């Protein structure tokens, strides 16, 4: 059973994600509303995936992603945020996130992203690929070749 850590400063979002995860057989090992606690809980539980909002207090979500990579490289990070994709999703990708889903999407999209990330794939909107062109993110062809069929749609 895959272990999940949920990090969001909105209790209703944490509850919705928890219910979705548990309904689909995931083990939610912890949840928190801030970046400092997210790092502590990651060290403690070594989750398979961290569902992380970027706009959290006490430590910026991008910094949380970068720090997690240093001590828990096996923990995948899926960003769940209200921020529009594009340059912002590219920044999450560069920080080390494995995926990016907007809160405006359906819960089924979140579930698809979690499954993809846990299977070793990246899950980013097409805007992230276009925003990375010419900015050191690799060629668009290289990035597209690394995507699954689902990610290319």
**Residue 113 placed within a domain:** yes
Kindly state the helix (H) or strand (E) to which residue 124 belongs, with its residue range. none
pLDDT digits (tens, 9 = 90+) for 10-36: 999 999 999 999 999 999 999 999 999
- Could you tell me the CA-to-CA distances from 25 to 6, 18, 19, 68, 118 in Å, in that order? 15, 11, 10, 24, 13
The CATH number of whichever domain residue 13 belongs to comes to: 3.40.50.2300
Would you state the pLDDT for residue 134? Answer: 44
What is the total count of domains within the chain?
1
* % of residues, the chain, pLDDT over 70: 82
**Residue 74 placed within a domain:** yes
Q: Where are the alpha helices (DSSP H) in 11-106?
A: 11-23, 35-45, 61-71, 87-95
Q: SS3 breakdown of the chain: % helix, strand, coil, rounded to 5?
A: 45, 15, 40
How long, in residues, is the chain?
A: 153
Q: Which residues contact 125 (CB under 8 A, 6 or more apart)?
A: 85, 89, 100, 102
Would you state the pLDDT for residue 86? Answer: 75
**Do the beta carbons of residue 116 and residue 48 sit within 8 Å?**
no
Would you state the pLDDT for residue 135? Answer: 44
Would you state the pLDDT for residue 137? Answer: 44
Q: Which residues contact 76 (CB under 8 A, 6 or more apart)?
A: 48, 49, 50, 98, 99, 117, 118
**Residue 152 placed within a domain:** no
**Residue 71 placed within a domain:** yes
* % of residues, the chain, pLDDT over 90: 75
Q: Is the pLDDT of residue 84 over 90?
A: no
**Residue 91 placed within a domain:** yes
Separation CA 72–CA 39 (nearest Å):
10
**Residue 150 placed within a domain:** no
Full residue range of the structural domain in which residue 50 is found: 3-145
**Residue 134 placed within a domain:** yes
pLDDT digits (tens, 9 = 90+) for 108-152: 999 999 999 999 999 998 755 544 444 444 444 444 555 655 655
**Residue 153 placed within a domain:** no
Would you state the pLDDT for residue 136? Answer: 45
Separation CA 33–CA 20 (nearest Å):
18
- What are 51's strand-pairing partners? 6, 78
């Amino acid at each position: 059973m895959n272990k999940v850590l949920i990090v969001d400063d909105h209790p209703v979002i944490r509850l919705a994600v928890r219910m979705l995860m548990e309904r689909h057989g995931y083990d939610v090992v912890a949840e928190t509303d801030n970046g400092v606690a997210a790092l502590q809980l990651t060290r403690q539980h070594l989750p398979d995936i961290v569902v992380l909002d970027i706009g959290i207090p006490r430590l910026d979500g991008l910094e949380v992603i970068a720090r997690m990579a240093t001590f828990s490289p096996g923990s995948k990070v899926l960003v769940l945020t209200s921020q529009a994709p594009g340059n912002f999703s590219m920044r999450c990708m560069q920080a080390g996130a494995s995926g990016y889903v907007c809160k405006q999407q359906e819960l089924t999209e979140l579930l698809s992203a979690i499954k993809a990330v846990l299977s070793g794939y990246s899950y980013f909107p097409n805007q992230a690929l276009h925003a990375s062109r010419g900015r050191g993110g690799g060629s668009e062809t290289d990035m597209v070749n690394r995507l699954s069929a689902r990610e290319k749609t």
